[in-house]
Amino acid sequence: MRPHWRGTLLYPASLVALFLGLQGLFGLLGVPVTQQASLAALPSVAVLLISLPWRLQRAWGERQAWKRLGVRCSWLDFAQSLSRGVVLAAALLLVIVVALLLAGAQGELKLTPALLLNAVVLGLGVGFAEELLFRGWLFGELSLLLGHQRALWLQAAIFSLVHTRFHLPGLELLLLLGGLALFGVLLAEQRDRDQGVLWGAVGLHGGAVGGWFLLSQGILDVQNVGPAWLLSPANPIGGAVGWIALVILLLTLKRS
């Protein structure tokens, strides 16, 4: 059974519309700007979790939605996949941290229990929700429509466009677009390597997000370190160092 392009476009658009609508509502209610996105994300993710089984049954003809999405698996597969993803995230961040230190970044140890908890919650929340949407549903649905290889690159391009900051200058913008696309390919390759289990991609994505938050907020002063094209201040994978680290990890996955 193949989904229809109309539903493939409307389903995520409705989730985004819900998120933005809730954000606007919280703004009208006087909620501080810094808290609007977090509060809007909770019900939006809840709707995603509730609606995905329905979407897979209706459009894919799939009755075992969570298994097909790679969420439901054995405890051994869960532990092995998640740990592999976290190790890859650590390797990615290690390359970037070494480059930052060589470029003159200074240590500023400001770790607190609250910061550690924030990093863990951020990593798990972003990692799970975004991997479920992009490498779980989107990658799977595009594979049914276009085939596996085309879907791999298209989901990475969409992932990149959704996350890019378009106010950046030309070169920084192109580097960030490319870095995010490479990250999207790496995450999809990680899921393929785990034979469809999603938790390796969750560990990689969440480990990178939570780890970078922890490094940049509590361990290193990363402001004004090196040129932006080399070490992007907007996103660590949006510079040449991030590209190099991503390519190394992609080649490692391909050869393993």
Q: Are residues 19 and 100 in the same domain?
A: no
State the CB neighbour count (10 A cutoff) for residue 65: 18
pLDDT of residue 38: 78
Of the residues 37, 68, 99, which one is the last residue of a structural domain?
68
Question: Which range marks the domain in which residue 54 is found?
Answer: 1-68
Angle at 236 between CA 182 and CA 77, to 5 degrees: 55
Residues 28, 125 within the same domain:
no
Claim to verify: residue 125 and residue 59 sit in the same structural domain: no
pTM confidence score: 0.93
Q: What is the pLDDT of residue 53?
A: 95
Q: What is the pLDDT of residue 21?
A: 93
Which of residues 68, 98, 125 is at a domain's end?
68
- For residue 105, the model assigns a pLDDT of 79
Does residue 172 share a domain with residue 108? yes
Residues 184 and 212 grouped into a single domain: yes
How far CA 58 is from CA of 3, 4, 141, in Å, comes to 8, 11, 12
Using alpha carbons, select from 189, 180, 212, 204 the residue that is nearest to residue 93.
212
How many separate domains does the chain show? Answer: 2
Q: Are residues 123 and 55 in the same domain?
A: no
d(CA 10, CA 30): 30
High-pLDDT (> 70) share of the chain, %:
99
Query: Which residue, 20, 36, 68, sits at the end of a domain?
Result: 68
Q: Are residues 153 and 60 in the same domain?
A: no
CA distance 156 to 82: 21
168: its two tokens? 């950046």
Claim to verify: residue 44 and residue 102 sit in the same structural domain: no
Bridge partner residues of 135 (DSSP): none
C-alpha 185 chain-centroid distance: 11
pLDDT range class, residue 224, cuts 50, 70, 90: confident
Is pLDDT at 256 greater than 80 in this prediction?
A: no
- Write down the pLDDT at residue 82: 97
- pLDDT greater at residue 128 or residue 222: 128
- pLDDT tens readout for residues 37-69: 878 888 999 999 999 999 999 999 999 999 999
* Cβ contact 218:207 at 8 Å: no
Mean pLDDT, residues 95-124 taken together: 86
Domain match, 62 and 77 both:
no
Question: Over 80: is that where the pLDDT of 234 sits?
Answer: no
Residues 175 and 58 placed together within one structural domain of the fold: no
Residue 50 sits in the same domain as residue 83? no
- pLDDT for position 255: 80
Q: Both 78 and 61 in a single domain?
A: no
